[in-house]
Amino acid sequence: MKNILVIVSVCFALSLCNLSERLHKGSSGSGGSSSSGGDANVEHGEPTVLQRAALAGGKEIKWDQQGMSWTVPPNWTEVTNESKSFVWRSPTEGGATLNVNISPMDENFPADSALQASYDQARSRAKNGEVDEVKWVEIDGLKGVQFREANPEKPDGFRRLQWEAYRKYSGQLQMINLMLATDGEHFDRHKDAMYGILYSTKVTH
């Protein structure tokens, strides 16, 4: 589990390091996204029956500093609750992790272009077989990019489900990077709970 938390943190750091490259490849304007992100292509994040069942008897957890909350299974526990980082995990073998990071942005940062660049990058990764799901998903009224990494070659390899979005909160533009992760061997066991947690997201914006 410690290895999963370390890898999640590294992946988040790398995503920030690649942000300028993604912006360069994405659309250059700060207005609306291209047709790939048109409203007609945005799904509403609704859990399936199985995903709801995976959270049965669960509990609401709150990140008060960022005005966000989720529903998680009853046996999940808190790992980190800081101003820009929030982590919970399951206690089971090959357990899953909820890892949410907030990155403050300059008020002139081109959020729409950055989000489009994230989508385009995920589509490129899908063509290379690194990602097996990419789509625009609206959660609690906030549009973001959702993608899921393909099953790793090694059973203990890292696999994540991720949602990226931007919001204005307390007068600040922020990037939300929400990751649910486990190893490939145990992904199917935790999949319904992970999707259920993602779609239970409540976010002030």
Residue 56 has a CB neighbour count (10 Å cut-off) of 9
Q: Which of 168, 172, 30 is nearest to 109 (CA)?
A: 30
Using the structure block, give the residue that is written with the tokens 């991720």.
162
Render each residue's pLDDT in the chain as its tens digit; 205 residues. 544 444 444 444 444 444 444 444 443 333 333 335 566 699 999 999 999 999 999 999 999 999 999 999 999 999 999 999 999 999 977 789 999 999 999 999 999 999 999 999 999 999 999 999 999 999 999 999 999 999 999 988 999 999 999 999 999 999 999 999 999 999 999 999 999 999 999 999 9
Number of domains comprising the chain: 1
Domain-embedded: residue 164? yes
Q: Per-residue pLDDT tens for 67-122?
A: 999 999 999 999 999 999 999 999 977 789 999 999 999 999 999 999 999 999 99
Domain assignment of residue 119, given as a range: 2-26+36-203
> In angstroms, what CA-CA distances link 202 with 54, 60, 62, 71?
18, 10, 9, 9
In whole angstroms, what is the distance from residue 164 CA to residue 84 CA?
15
Q: 188 with 115: CB under 8 angstroms?
A: no
Return the CATH number at 175: 3.40.1000.10
Q: 57 with 74: CB under 8 angstroms?
A: yes
Domain-embedded: residue 111? yes
Domain-embedded: residue 50? yes
Domain-embedded: residue 115? yes
On the CB side of 170, CA atoms within 13 Å amount to 9
